[in-house]
Amino acid sequence: MSSQSTFPVSDPFVRRSFRLPPTAAFYLQASIVVAFLAASSAPTPLYAVYQGEWGFSPITTTLVFGIYALAVLAALLTVGSLSDHIGRRPVLLTAIGLQAVAMVVLTTAGGVPELMLARVVQGLSTGAAVGAVGAGMIDLDKAKGTIANAVAPMTGTATGALVSGLLVQYLPAPTHLVYLVILGVFLLQGVGVALMRETSSPKPGALASLRPRLGVPRAARGPLLVAVPVLVAVWALAGLYGSVVPAVLRTVLRSNSLLLGGLALFALAISGAVTVLLLRDGAPRRVMLFGTVALIVGVGVTLLSVDHDSALGFFAGTVVAGAGFGGGFQGAIRTVVPLAAPHERSGLLSTLYVVSYLAMGLPAVIGGFLVVHGGGLLPTTREYGVAVMVLAALALLGLAVPRRGATGTVVVAGNVPASQAGSEASGTAPAVLAEYAKR
């Protein structure tokens, strides 16, 4: 029996004779994940331009980054499952509309307040959309939807960072063009969503679904203690690359190229996406073990390269660290989530959201503070990187301790992939965790 199907759901939105076929609707939704995450990483190469024009400090750069992560978290905890009650299309159309507004604000921004406002709107819309998109793709094709949920977010992060860097470096109007291009993509996607067939029937409980639920089942507490250092390490690393690393690269290479920041985030995210794809059927505990080792090695090589002003070493270390990001996050999630009973999963997922997004936003802000009031850019980067390595090492020690029932746990989750992606890859966690919420 094919996993692809259409759904005879009544469409209360707009009556049209033409609807997108299921295959086209599937790829449209995958493109929405890519576009949303591309939009989230697009400002990364521009932070140096904004800093030069508006004269703010690295603390402000990390605050702009951190506020996005917190906005994503707020939306995930409240409206993340709203599409299960009111339908996929209303949520997606609203989220695309908000993203379009954010692009207009970024295009016309004249200072930090507008930049902050746009990042909040971006975060809220991304957090609202990823659950609807993840569920919508699985509605249409469970097998392909699972893979797309794992890979598309990091692919979007990588694409946004690279394309933004190229546009900013080589084409005119650097603080306008990239956002106008993305705005055009969103408008086209909005038309596509309007032509989609609804795949989820409305059901009661929409207001109740807005109440955040946090909790950790007893069976998951031990494994979560092992997984938390990995989650904090990988998401803190993503925060570093999304905020401070562009300035580090320009300092190390003594270059004013705005493309460098986008290339660094691209290397981290695309490596993570490839790792998730290749290891999606691996045993979760082994995947997490691989991820922690790769994270330690990759960050170590990157820090040594910073000390020796080596661009080749920096990007080689970033690729290895990206593999650690993808493997560590995927293994951690797949080890912990299957231990929860169906009625406990919502609370556990929300807890994982909180850990992941706070780890992405708060350390980056602390790093920005230390750059200004501590030892400076490069010493702070070294300290930050060492902290990531220590966290990964703690997880490695936890993995070395045999756990009763560990074998059974990994079998349950054996073929469920998880994504990493973040960077401002924020959307990566929600996309894969949304898949677990449907199980």
3-state secondary structure of 141: strand
Give per-residue pLDDT as tens, 191-242: 999 999 998 888 888 888 788 877 888 888 888 888 899 999 999 999 889 8
Residue-wise pLDDT for 15-49, tens only, equals 546 789 999 999 999 999 999 999 998 988 888 88
CB 261 within 8 A of CB 245: yes
Q: 4 has which bridge partners? A: 141
C-alpha pair distances (Å), 137 with each of 34, 54, 150: 13, 42, 12
When pLDDT is cut at 50, 70 and 90, the band that residue 315 belongs to is: very high
| CATH label, 22-437, candidates 3.30.559.10, 2.30.29.30, 3.10.20.440, 1.20.1250.20 | 1.20.1250.20
- Among the residue ranges 206-210, 342-346, 421-425, 428-432, the one predicted with the least confidence is 421-425
Residue with tokens 């070395």: 400
Pick the range with the lowest mean pLDDT from 66-75, 256-265, 428-437: 428-437
CB burial of residue 321 (10 Å; 0-12, 13-18, 19+): buried
Report how far residue 122's alpha carbon sits from residue 100's, in angstroms, rounded to the nearest whole number.
Answer: 9
pTM for this entry: 0.80
Find out whether 231 and 329 touch, Cβ atoms under 8 Å: yes
Q: How far is CA 2 from CA 34, 143, 245, in A?
A: 26, 10, 45
Q: Tell me which amino acid residue 19 is.
A: R
pLDDT in tens, 235-281: 999 988 988 888 888 888 888 888 888 899 999 999 999 999 999 88
